[in-house]
């Protein structure tokens, strides 16, 4: 039996910086903030309102401007993106987390074992003694640090786990226990929260903000939930999105169900959530093999289920694997649009291979690599197979949708280039994300 390669694809996580308190060193708007942001390239948007995090050659974190200059020196063990004007940073001496503003000034002194990013004026933190709570932007506790785990506030409630029993409660913004205890619970979404009172069969049901229960169809048991949340190291925040149907595993097959637990789609061996562009990946079973395709919101196949794997179609194009992968063998890929048309076939020469874990958009170079004498080098090719940027990098990643930048690795360090291969940021950084050691995955998701 072949090794199953269930390909979920990678979710695009573009860098988002809140525009409140915009600092003139990073953006000086002459018009409305939204109008200015709409006029910027994806690269420029990385620096809206705040510098972007980066790590130097020694692995210390700090923040840079769009010229690659350190505006907050690389001095921390770890750093997180700016949110609402504050960023969580880990002190190199105490190894505790605190917060700084966009000028590098300490606004909440290092005192926490873990620290999240601010969302609507509050964030979850972990005390050195091990309890989780929620603080405001003054560093004052809104919810005392007495919980095993806690989320941020969403629609007026936060999810918290009891330190002793592990039971879940939904707390209001005063920190009061309002709903619970539950074996598990998700945050409110559109006025409803998904909860369960028993571990058996994961018997989930909805409650509204008055506590009224909305059970599912008896024949449908929720076996997974769609996970959401920023910086949710402390818990798994979640909700189930029924706007286009929710994938459920029923009798070893997936269907989409509505809020009542009624099946509203055909059965698939695998069914993924709908992306923002309105399409979802699905699979059927033939013998021991799964074949993947893409369906629209009416569950019609737009890419027929005849591929061994599908990758990343958020930008309107999917990379499809034509034949089963074998250890040491070559895999042939095609690129398809979301009408099922093949718009690119893989290079015919064995030594040049399209890099599959890429987000492709028309007009942007395609990441590819060569393998010669056991040496692997990366570069970019055009849609007509011509070489656009030579194969001279240790790794290359997808261009932003507008083509303004791509992250590349050279000699173990990361930088950014434009579509002509010119350096925007020279390769002098260990990484541009929270955890540099994971950078080879994170860059194809965009910068966090």
- Structure confidence by residue, pLDDT tens digits, 311-357: 877 778 888 887 655 555 556 788 888 888 888 886 655 577 887 76
User: To which H or E segment does residue 33 belong?
Assistant: helix 33-38
Q: In the structure encoding, which two tokens stand for residue 39, read together?
A: 């006029």
- Average pLDDT (360-369) is 86
- Average pLDDT, integer, range 283-293: 89
With a cut of 50, say whether residue 179 has pLDDT above it.
Answer: yes
Given CA atoms 446, 403, 352, 289 in this order, what sign does their dihedral have? positive
Residue 221: pLDDT over 70: no
Mean pLDDT of the chain: 79
* Range 200-218 burial, b when 16+ CB lie within 10 A, else e: eeebbbbbebeeeeeebee
Is pLDDT above 50 for 235?
no
Segment 88-117 mean pLDDT: 97
For 386-399, the pLDDT digits (tens) are 899 999 999 999 89
**Long-range contacts at 8-12 (CB < 8 A, ≥ 24 apart):** 8/272, 8/281, 9/272, 9/281, 9/310, 9/311, 9/312, 9/313, 9/314, 10/312, 10/357, 10/359, 10/441, 10/444, 10/445, 11/314, 11/445, 12/312, 12/314, 12/359, 12/445, 12/446
Query: What is the CB neighbour count within 10 angstroms for residue 434?
Result: 19
**In the predicted model, is pLDDT for residue 233 greater than 50?**
no
β-strand partners of 283: 270, 292
**Which pLDDT band, with edges at 50, 70 and 90, does 434 fall under?**
low
Q: Which residue has the higher pLDDT, 374 or 384?
A: 384
pLDDT at 335 (0 to 100): 87
Give tens-digit pLDDT for 44-65: 999 999 999 999 999 999 999 9
User: pTM for the complete prediction?
Assistant: 0.78
């Amino acid at each position: 039996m072949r090794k199953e390669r269930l390909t979920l694809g990678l979710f695009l996580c573009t860098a988002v910086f809140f525009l409140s308190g915009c600092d003139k060193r990073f953006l000086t708007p002459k018009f409305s903030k939204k109008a200015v942001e709409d006029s910027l390239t994806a690269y420029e948007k990385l620096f809206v309102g705040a510098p972007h995090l980066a790590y130097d050659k020694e692995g210390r974190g700090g923040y840079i401007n769009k010229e690659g200059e350190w505006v907050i020196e690389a001095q921390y063990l770890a750093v997180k993106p700016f949110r609402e004007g504050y960023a969580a940073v880990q002190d190199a001496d105490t190894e505790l987390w605190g917060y700084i503003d966009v000028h590098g000034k300490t606004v909440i002194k290092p005192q926490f074992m873990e620290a999240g990013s601010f969302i609507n004026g509050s964030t979850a933190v972990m005390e050195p003694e091990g309890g989780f709570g929620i603080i405001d932007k003054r560093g004052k506790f809104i919810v005392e640090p007495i919980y095993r785990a806690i989320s941020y506030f969403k629609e007026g409630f936060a999810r918290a786990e009891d330190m002793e029993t592990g039971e879940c409660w939904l707390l209001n913004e005063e920190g009061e226990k309002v709903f619970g205890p539950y074996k598990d619970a998700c945050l409110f979404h559109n006025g409803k929260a998904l909860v369960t009172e028993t571990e058996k069969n994961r018997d989930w049901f909805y409650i509204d903000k008055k506590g009224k229960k909305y059970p599912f169809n008896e024949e449908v048991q929720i076996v997974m939930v769609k996970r959401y949340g920023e910086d949710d190291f402390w818990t798994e925040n979640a909700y189930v999105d029924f706007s286009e149907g929710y994938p459920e595993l029923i009798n070893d097959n997936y269907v989409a169900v509505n809020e009542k637990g009624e099946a509203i789609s055909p059965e698939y061996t695998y069914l993924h959530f709908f992306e923002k562009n309105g399409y979802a990946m699905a699979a059927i079973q033939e013998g021991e093999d799964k074949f993947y395709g893409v369906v629209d919101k009416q569950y019609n196949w737009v890419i027929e289920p005849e591929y061994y794997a599908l990758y990343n179609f958020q930008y309107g194009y999917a990379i499809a694997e034509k034949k089963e992968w074998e250890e040491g063998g070559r895999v042939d890929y095609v690129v398809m649009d979301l009408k099922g048309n093949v718009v690119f076939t893989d290079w015919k020469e064995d030594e040049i291979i399209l890099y599959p874990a890429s987000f492709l958009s028309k007009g942007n170079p395609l990441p590819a690599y060569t393998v010669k004498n056991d040496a692997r080098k990366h570069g970019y090719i055009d849609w007509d197979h011509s070489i656009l940027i030579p194969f001279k990098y240790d790794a290359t990643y997808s261009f932003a949708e507008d083509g303004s930048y791509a992250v590349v690795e050279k000699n173990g360090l990361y930088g950014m280039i434009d579509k002509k291969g010119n350096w925007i940021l020279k390769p002098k950084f260990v990484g541009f994300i929270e955890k540099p050691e994971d950078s080879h995955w994170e860059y194809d998701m965009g910068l966090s």
